[in-house]
Amino acid sequence: MFKVFKAFVKKEFYHILRDKRTLLILFGMPIAQVLIFGFAVTNEFNDTKIDVLDYAKDVTSNQLIDHIQSSGHFMVNNRLLSEKEMEDGFKAGASKIVVAIPENFSEDFYAGANPQIQVITDGSDPNNANTLVQYVTQMVNTFKTERSVQGGTPYQIQLSTQMMYNPQLVSSYNFVPGTIALILLIICAMLTSLTIAKENEKGTMEVLLVSPLPPVIIILGKVTPYALLSFGIAVLVVLIGNIVFGVPVLGSFGLLMLMCLLYVITALSLGTLISTKSDTQQKAMMTSLMSLMMPSLILSGFIFPMSSMPQVLQWIGHIIPAKYFIDILKGIMLRGVGMDFLLFEVGVLLLMTLVFLVLTWRNFKIRLE
């Protein structure tokens, strides 16, 4: 009996080792998850871009800026000249934190006049904003301490903070836009790929392809119901976020819906691309989970700030459609910006959609041969 059992186990081992997909799940996914979670799931910051509005432009203010950079947590991105530039940076999503140093900073600091430094952050991501303020506060405190030891006098700096767009630091302001992006991605991309893969698996897609209907009509017929349902769900989720959780829509509601429609089309084109590369529903499910769900949840900046991730993971994050859609949602809903501040994100989504459709068309024609 033991010999039979031993031979059976040996056969199963051979079966597992010959199946590349099983090996990928067994060894590839745990290694990838450990590496991604280990590097991405962190609230530490390194080389976070910071803008400086330096009204003083004296030796001490430059020393303070150098001291903040010396921590390795911050890197000066822009030296602003006016509050207008600061507001434009926040509206475009280019600025996450601005340190404003007052005039006569050096004289007031060494005269013990307690100069006030302003730290302004983008409160649409409250956890990120809070952490950034804490890091800056710590660096300003060490700057005061070092100067006090050198001069023998306990110098003081008053620090005031301001959270733009979310002064109450409501967490739903961050989670509602991210949740909308994930829900639309799941419905559009994953379910579309599964539906078409199901037709391939059962062989009914070949029957449709030999029918008088053009392939484009067949694909459009398959994805149109999901597009309409997804758009309706997007409207529903936005209304729930607004009415139940109090997330405002400061920008144009029509523009918001137009952007939702663009993202739905992008996700649908990605779903059809996955379906053309998947023979079975199982393969479509695995591909969707590994290439859509996990990267969109972890690497899009929805939960963990991209600036704290290694450069490689940041590059991967920049090819995820959800990253740009979340930026668009926060821009319209929380910052109230128009299309002129969203041209880059919209252009990237349009380019992605075009690439996905071209690749889908190429793969679909190969299948017809």
User: What pLDDT, on a 0 to 100 scale, did the predictor assign at position 348?
Assistant: 95
% pLDDT > 90, the chain: 12
Q: Which whole number is the average pLDDT over 229-244?
A: 84
- Together in a domain, 186 and 266: yes
Asked if the structure places residue 163 within a domain, the reply is no
pLDDT for residue 262: 92
**How big is the chain, counted in residues?**
369
Predicted local distance difference test score (pLDDT) of residue 153: 65
Work out whether the CA dihedral 309, 311, 312, 314 comes out positive or negative: positive
Residue 27 lies in a domain: yes
Structure tokens at 326: 């979340």
Question: How many Å apart are CA 122 and CA 99, to the nearest integer?
Answer: 12
Same domain, 334 and 202: yes
Answer yes or no: do 231 and 109 share one domain. Answer: no
Instruction: Say which residue the tokens 């137009």 belong to.
Output: 258
Q: How many CB atoms lie within 10 A of CB 18?
A: 9
Whether 202 is in a domain gets the answer yes
How many whole angstroms separate alpha carbon 292 and alpha carbon 298?
10
pTM: 0.79
Q: CATH number, domain at 111?
A: 3.40.1710.10
Same domain, yes or no: 233 and 297: yes
Give a yes or no: residue 156 inside a domain: no
Specify whether 29 is located in the same domain as 69: no
Q: Report residue 306 as tokens.
A: 């991209």
Final residue of a structural domain among 109, 129, 144: 144
Q: Total domain count for the chain?
A: 2
DSSP 247: -
pLDDT digits (tens, 9 = 90+) for 60-118: 899 999 998 887 788 888 888 888 888 888 888 888 899 999 998 888 888 888 888 99
Same domain, 331 and 199: yes
Mean pLDDT over 137-161 rounds to 80
Looking at 129, 144, 159, the residue that finishes a domain is: 144
Expressed as residue numbers, the domain containing 94 is: 49-144
Judge whether 304 and 40 are in contact, CB under 8 Å: yes
Task: Round to whole Å and give the CA distance between 8 and 2.
Answer: 10
Residue 301 lies in a domain: yes
pLDDT, one tens digit per residue, over 154-179 is 788 888 888 888 887 787 888 888 88
Q: How far apart are CA 222 and CA 132, in angstroms?
A: 46
Domain end (from 126, 144, 162): 144
> 128: which residues sit within 8 A by CB, 6+ positions away?
96, 122, 305
Taking the C-alpha atoms of residue 329 and residue 183, their distance in angstroms, rounded to an integer, is 14
Model pLDDT, residue 325: 92
Which tens digit of pLDDT belongs to each residue from 301-356?
Answer: 887 777 777 788 888 889 999 999 999 998 999 888 889 889 999 999 999 999 99
359 token code pair: 């690749």
Q: Is residue 235 part of a domain?
A: yes
Percent of the chain topping pLDDT 70? 90
Q: What pLDDT does 125 receive?
A: 81
Does 10 share its domain with 102?
A: no
Residues 56 and 30 in one domain: no
Q: Name which of 302, 273, 312 is nearest 180 in CA terms.
A: 302
**Amino acid code (one letter) for 178:** G
* The pLDDT of residue 366 is above 60: no
